[in-house]
């Protein structure tokens, strides 16, 4: 069986299936070519229209993609994070072709990366082939001596990794730490401190004021907070191995890959309760802040400015409480949570089991 993917596949494809030892060949198709032409003309990067479909007629190979539906009649498997088809209703013809392709037998399966994604898809009440749930694979990354970092830990090391700083709760993290008393903690931030995103929707003027606030906290707390604008992935993973607690108190994320990486490195994580996060984090291996449920924002970002302000304040208060709770614990308390996080990864994200399930789907007749 020959398997192909889109030429220029990105991080999501790598995270879901490209790291498996499966012979998957990247191929050009009409959508990838149109995307390249569009970029040359407009200089605009991500355009979901071109990434939402794959068109390579007369190729009998099985196409495997992420959020992308094959519309040329060839066999395919599609992973998705929210719902399919992903394209706007305004693209009437293309959407029709995608819905039709999802119904037909050459669609081997739709693969939801979380239970949340599966529920959202079923709520659309579209006819399509069966859905499987496959959470992303993740290797356990700790060595035999990993628990030593928790022994006699006098200073608790927190870590935040994320490009969209505001959307992922970075501002509330800084505000919460800035309220803490003379506790022994340090924080490492790996982020370009981006403040412009679809969830927080800060205006240009608000972003200017927030930048001043962020710079002030970083300066005043420079003995405790270390900031890197960017690090190679290998250095990030090494940083996680010295971390006691990971942070992703996000306003909105469809999944939260960094949570898996923290847990795989023996770090319990502080998250919110949005989208798939309650499926990969819980009180046995970390801390889940119930801010999404309080504001009915577990699925979609808030669209009201006043509610966004209240969301931010509530998240900040919950983070203060969580940090004070964490700092009151012993190293052994944190090690127990960390051990549960590692076991959760080993049990629920085993790459060999993921590969076996995916192979079975691909070989479906």
Q: 3-class DSSP state for residue 66?
A: strand
Higher pLDDT, 130 or 189: 189
Residue 74 pLDDT exceeds 80:
yes
- For 171-194, write each residue's pLDDT tens digit: 999 999 999 987 799 999 999 999
- For 233-280, write each residue's pLDDT tens digit: 999 999 999 999 999 999 999 999 999 999 999 999 999 999 999 999
Radius of gyration of the chain (CA): 22
Judge whether 225 and 218 are in contact, CB under 8 Å. Answer: yes
Output phi, psi for 5, to 5 deg: -135, 175
The edge-to-edge listing of strands for the beta sheet with 225-228 is: 225-228, 185-190, 156-161, 245-248, 269-272, 286-289
Q: At 163, list the tokens.
A: 């490009």
Q: Give the residue among 222, 72, 250, 97 at the shortest CA–CA distance from 161.
A: 250
Task: Considering the chain, tell me which residue range(s) the CATH 3.40.50.2000 domain(s) occupy.
Answer: 146-348
Residue 365 pLDDT exceeds 70:
no
pLDDT grade, residue 48 (50/70/90)? Answer: confident
What pLDDT does 45 receive? Answer: 61
- CATH number for the region 146-348 comes to 3.40.50.2000
- Look up tokens 């959508």; give the residue: 31
Judge whether 224 and 180 are in contact, CB under 8 Å. Answer: no
What percentage of residues in the chain have a pLDDT greater than 90?
Answer: 87
């Amino acid at each position: 069986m020959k398997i192909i993917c889109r030429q220029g596949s990105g991080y999501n494809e790598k995270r879901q299936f490209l790291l498996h030892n499966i012979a998957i060949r990247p191929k050009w198709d009409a959508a990838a070519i149109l995307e390249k032409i569009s970029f040359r003309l407009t200089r605009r990067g991500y355009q979901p229209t071109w990434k939402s479909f794959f068109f390579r007629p007369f190729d009998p190979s099985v196409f495997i993609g992420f959020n992308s539906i094959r519309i040329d009649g060839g066999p395919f498997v599609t992973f998705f994070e929210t719902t399919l088809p992903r394209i706007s209703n305004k693209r009437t013809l293309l959407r029709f072709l995608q819905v039709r392709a999802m119904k037909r037998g050459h669609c081997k399966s739709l693969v939801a990366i979380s239970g949340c994604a599966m529920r959202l898809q079923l709520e659309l009440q579209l006819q399509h082939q069966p859905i499987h749930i496959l959470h992303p694979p993740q290797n356990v990354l700790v060595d035999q001596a990993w628990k030593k970092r928790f022994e006699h830990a006098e200073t608790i090391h927190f870590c935040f990794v994320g490009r969209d700083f505001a959307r992922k709760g970075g501002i509330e993290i800084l505000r919460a730490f800035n309220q803490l008393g003379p506790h022994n903690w340090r924080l490492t931030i790996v982020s370009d401190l981006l403040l412009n995103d679809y969830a927080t929707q800060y205006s240009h003027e608000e972003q200017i004021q927030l930048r001043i606030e962020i710079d002030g906290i970083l300066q005043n707390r420079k003995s405790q907070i270390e900031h890197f604008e960017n690090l190679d992935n290998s250095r990030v993973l090494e940083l996680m191995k010295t971390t006691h607690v990971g942070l992703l108190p996000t306003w909105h994320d469809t999944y939260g890959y960094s949570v898996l990486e923290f847990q795989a490195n023996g770090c319990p994580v502080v998250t919110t309760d949005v989208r798939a996060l309650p499926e990969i984090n819980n009180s046995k291996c970390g801390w889940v802040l119930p801010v999404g449920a309080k504001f009915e924002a577990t699925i979609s970002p808030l669209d009201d400015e006043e509610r966004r302000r209240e969301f931010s304040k509530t998240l900040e208060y919950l983070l203060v409480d969580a940090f004070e709770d964490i700092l009151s614990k012993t190293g052994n308390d944190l090690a127990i949570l960390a051990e549960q996080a590692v076991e959760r990864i080993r049990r629920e994200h085993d790459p060999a089991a993921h590969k076996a399930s995916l192979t079975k789907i691909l070989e479906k007749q």
